Amino acid sequence: MNSDRPTTPETPSPGDAPPESHAPQPAWERFLLAMHGANDGYYDWDLLTGEGYLSPRWKELIGYSDAELPNRFETWVELLHPEDREQATATTHRLLAGALSQYQIEYRLRHKDGSYRLVRSCGAILRDAAGKPIRLGGWHIDLSENRRLTERLQQQTHVANMCTDVSLALARQPFLRVFLQHCVDALLAHLPLDWVGIWLHEPGRHGFIPQVRASRAPNAHNGEYDLPVGAQTVGRIADLRQRLLSQEVQRDPLLHPQERAWAQREGMSVFVGYPLLAEGRVAGVLALFAREPLPEVYLDALGSLALIIALASERLPAQKDLP
């Protein structure tokens, strides 16, 4: 990316503008009036005087009051995401140069809280009779909420598909370990998880015994990485009798050094463990790793699945000779 800081668009000198450029522009005023009545933030730059205007709604979309941001072109440039700045400013300069008559572009603006909001900017340029640009205006549409709603709908769809697979497996599989394998396979198929394992308590044996696992990690079934979750962590989850969540698994002191080393080598960032509670006792543990943070809708679904697995472990017969 060009490291030079974008500058204010070059504007025509007022002395060079023909007299008619100062005449009222009814169509442009109607355009601004329409923008004022919409719920989108709008902006208007007088290229003859260099004066600019950012509407209160424009500033509100990124968390500021009207008085907190100056009405300058540089304000917009400074708030652009560094990765979007070059393309956005280049589009503006192309518009001024006559390569475009109007534009529609998406970019991110820095919110007052430090996060970035995705907006769609739509605009046009007004020229005088000689073809010189005299006004630049447009509006911003906040896409962040639409994006969040779309993502949540997709997440709910993934959860529904996972639940369907688990329900079908529960209805069709007569043996516990076959059902458990279907569960971990369904989790990897529909949720952004990278390693899943299930441990159960077996009568006459100490602790919790690994039952099934599934993984996207390339080394997960080779030697020392076969079971990245150790007995100590499994026991801690069982003792807690509630969810254990780590969003910084590579540095979390609650996890064993070997688990942290495996997570670092495989690029994992999240670890979650659930006790399998059945009729007041801990029947086992569900544990998983992921490379990306997990939204609450996934964490809640995993908690519900842990309950289903716990109940199934009490009701489905085991089959000892399964691989």
* Higher pLDDT among residues 29 and 135, named by residue: 135
Mean pLDDT of 252-275: 93
The answer, yes or no, to whether residue 227 has pLDDT greater than 50, is yes
How far apart are the C-alpha atoms of 321 and 323, rounded to whole Å? 6
Give the contacts of 127 (CB within 8 A, at least 6 positions apart): 133, 134
Outline where DSSP puts E strands in the chain. 41-46, 52-54, 102-110, 116-127, 133-142, 195-201, 208-215, 244-246, 270-278, 281-290
C-alpha dist (Å) from residue 53 to 96, 197, 277: 18, 57, 60
pLDDT band at 320 (very low <50, low <70, confident <90, very high): low
Where is pLDDT greater, at 28 or 318?
Answer: 318
Q: What Rg, from alpha-carbon coordinates, does the chain have?
A: 29
Stretch among 60-69, 104-113, 119-128, 313-322 having the lowest mean pLDDT: 313-322
Mean pLDDT of 219-234: 69
- The answer to whether residue 216 scores a pLDDT higher than 90 is no
Q: What per-residue confidence (pLDDT) applies to 137?
A: 84
Span 151-203, pLDDT tens digits: 888 999 999 999 999 999 888 877 899 999 999 999 999 999 999 999 999 88
Q: Token pair of 60, please?
A: 């509100």
Does the predicted TM-score (pTM) go above 0.75?
Answer: no
Cβ contact 312:178 at 8 Å: no
pLDDT per position as a tens digit, 13-48: 333 333 344 444 555 555 555 555 445 688 888 888
- The chain-wide mean pLDDT, for the chain, equals 83
Question: What does the pLDDT read at residue 13?
Answer: 37
Top pLDDT among 168 and 225 is at 168
pLDDT score, position 302: 95
The per-residue DSSP string of 10-61 comes to: P---GGGS-GGGGS--HHHHHHHHHHHHSSSEEEEEETTT--EEE-HHHHHT
14 vs 273, higher pLDDT: 273
Q: 265, 204, 259: which is closest to 231 by C-alpha?
A: 259
Percent above pLDDT 90 for the chain: 51
Question: How many whole angstroms separate alpha carbon 215 and alpha carbon 193?
Answer: 8
Q: For the chain, list the domains and their CATH numbers.
A: 27-146 (3.30.450.20), 173-315 (3.30.450.40)
Per-residue confidence at 224, pLDDT binned at 50, 70, 90?
very low
DSSP state of 317: P
Residue 104 scores a pLDDT above 60:
yes
pLDDT tens, residue by residue, 54-81: 988 899 999 999 999 999 888 999 999 9
